């Protein structure tokens, strides 16, 4: 009888231990789930804070740009282009924002500026004429008719071009846009544009703005592709750098109007006939301007504890009604 009681007691003890183990595992599971849900809630809250802070950053950038609307030109010595006090580690809503752009100087050195990037310092793919496109895609000339087919409104195929029939026959088919490109990334869909070619040309291209290139902000490489001679593009760079040979400072030379460009350059550098002809050609074709309408925000947003961050690529215009960006993308 005693042995039977002992056997039953042992069974109860084992069963109790199993129950305690199961309860412990259940408690641990619930604790881990609660911790995960807490972290998830924190990340979701961070996402909301980062997004709202980015939207506040857009309002801030447009406000800075709006101060220059009454000025007849846009130049790199204005505060929208570089002002660390306005664009570096700016506390906004629930996060810190930094607006930065990296550029190369005449010596090929990378420099960081805290501010916005001018979209009209680049060539607009939606407006660039054939002669300009041929300079951009000189490494693969057949891209030019394909791009012109992509952006025109019809399905008539240009010589060496491509329309919807070609794109719809691909293993992963898609339709030809037959209209303006909506983002620069769309260029990679055009026949002949390989990843290497895209990387080679993307820094000088845009799909935003009026289609004109700003003489006060464009690089010599961009200016040369509009049709200006290489020597004239370099003289424009020297004029803009001023006496300190640094762009974006108070002594910068600035073109306040297109009508003053030829006279000012000729006075300083005695332009050659070839340089004058190339400048007049670009002016007559209305390829150049001195005031910009669209700007890019390369925005880094971090929560105050730096645990969460997002990078946004946004294009805005101070002339756009309301505060709706022309383009918004989260950069992964």
Output the tens digit of pLDDT for each of the chain's 332 residues. Answer: 545 555 566 677 777 777 877 777 777 766 666 665 555 455 677 888 899 999 999 999 999 999 998 999 999 999 999 999 999 999 987 899 999 998 876 666 788 999 999 999 999 999 999 999 999 999 999 999 999 999 999 999 999 999 999 999 999 999 999 999 999 999 999 999 999 999 999 999 999 999 999 999 999 999 999 999 999 999 999 999 999 888 888 899 999 999 999 999 999 999 999 999 999 999 999 999 999 999 999 999 999 887 889 999 999 999 987 778 999 999 87
Is residue 120 within 8 Å of residue 210, measured between CB atoms? yes
**118 and 140: one domain?**
no
Give the domain range for residue 282: 126-202+216-287
Work out the burial of residue 313: count CB atoms within 10 Å of its CB; fewer than 13 is exposed, 13-18 middle, 19 or more buried. middle
Please report the pLDDT score of residue 40 as a whole number.
46
- 302, containing H or E segment: strand 295-303
Classify the C-alpha dihedral 163-165-170-175 as positive or negative: positive
Q: How far is CA 176 from CA 32, 147, 169, in A?
A: 50, 10, 11
The DSSP secondary-structure symbol of 311 reads E
What's the half-sphere exposure (Cβ side, CA atoms, 13 Å) at 106? 12
CA torsion sign, 50 to 55 to 59 to 65?
positive
Angle at CA of residue 320, ends 318 and 326, nearest 5°: 95
Check: pTM over 0.75? Answer yes or no: yes
Can you tell me whether residue 329 is helix, strand or coil?
Answer: strand
Domain co-membership, 142 together with 69: no
Give the per-residue pLDDT at 94.
81
Q: What is the Cα–Cα distance from 206 to 211, expressed in whole angstroms?
A: 9
**Residue 209 is assigned to a structural domain of this protein:** no
* CB distance 125 to 207 below 8 Å: yes
Q: What is the rounded CA–CA span in Å between residue 223 and residue 85?
A: 31
Cα–Cα distances in Å, from 304 out to 50, 55, 92, 238, 308? 10, 17, 10, 42, 9
Residue 210 lies in a domain: no
Residue 26: the pLDDT is 74
Question: Does one domain contain both 314 and 182?
Answer: no
What angle, rounded to 10 degrees, do the helices at 261-269 and 230-241 form?
Answer: 90
Q: Are residues 133 and 121 part of one domain?
A: no
Domains identified in the chain, total number: 2
120 and 6 in one domain?
yes
Q: How far apart are CA 227 and CA 276, in angstroms?
A: 11
Residues 189 and 270 in one domain: yes
**Cα 54 from Cα 266, distance rounded (Å):** 45
Task: Give pLDDT, residue 107.
Answer: 65
E-state strands within 21-145 = 90-92, 95-104, 110-114, 117-118, 123-124
Residue 160 placed within a domain: yes
What pLDDT, on a 0 to 100 scale, did the predictor assign at position 304?
A: 87
User: Are 259 and 155 contained in the same domain?
Assistant: yes
- The H or E element spanning position 299 is strand 295-303
Q: Are residues 179 and 72 located together in one domain of the fold?
A: no
Kindly state whether residues 14 and 106 are assigned to the same domain. Answer: yes
Encoded tokens for 38: 């807490």
């Amino acid at each position: 009888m005693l042995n039977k009681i002992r056997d039953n007691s042992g069974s109860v003890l084992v069963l109790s231990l199993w129950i305690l183990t199961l309860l412990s595992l259940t408690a641990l599971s619930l604790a881990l789930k609660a911790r995960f849900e807490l972290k998830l809630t924190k990340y979701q809250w961070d996402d909301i804070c980062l997004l709202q802070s980015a939207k506040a950053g857009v309002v801030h950038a447009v406000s800075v740009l709006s101060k220059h609307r009454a000025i007849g030109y846009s130049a790199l010595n204005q505060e929208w282009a570089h002002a660390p006090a306005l664009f570096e580690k700016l506390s906004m809503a629930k996060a810190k924002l930094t607006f930065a752009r990296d550029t190369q100087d005449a010596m090929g050195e990378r420099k960081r500026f805290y501010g916005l990037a001018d979209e009209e310092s680049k060539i607009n793919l939606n407006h660039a004429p054939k002669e300009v496109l041929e300079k951009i895609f000189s490494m693969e000339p057949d891209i030019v008719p394909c791009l012109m087919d992509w952006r025109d409104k019809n399905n008539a195929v240009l010589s060496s071009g491509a329309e919807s029939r070609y794109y719809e026959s691909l293993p992963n088919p898609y339709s030809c846009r037959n209209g303006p490109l909506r983002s620069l990334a769309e260029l990679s869909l055009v026949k002949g544009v390989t990843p290497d070619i895209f990387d080679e040309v993307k820094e000088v291209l845009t799909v935003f703005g009026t289609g004109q290139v700003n003489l006060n902000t464009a690089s010599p490489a961009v200016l040369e592709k509009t049709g200006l001679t290489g020597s004239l593009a370099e003289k424009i760079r020297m004029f803009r750098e001023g006496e300190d040979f640094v762009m974006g400072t108070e002594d910068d030379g600035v073109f306040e109007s297109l009508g003053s460009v030829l006279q000012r350059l000729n006075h300083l550098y005695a332009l050659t006939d070839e340089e004058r002809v190339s400048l007049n050609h670009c002016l007559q074709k209305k390829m150049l301007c001195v005031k910009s309408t669209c700007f890019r925000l390369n925005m880094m947003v971090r929560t105050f504890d730096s645990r969460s961050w997002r990078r946004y690529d946004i294009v805005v215009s101070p002339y756009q009604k309301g505060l709706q960006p022309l383009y918004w993308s989260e950069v992964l």
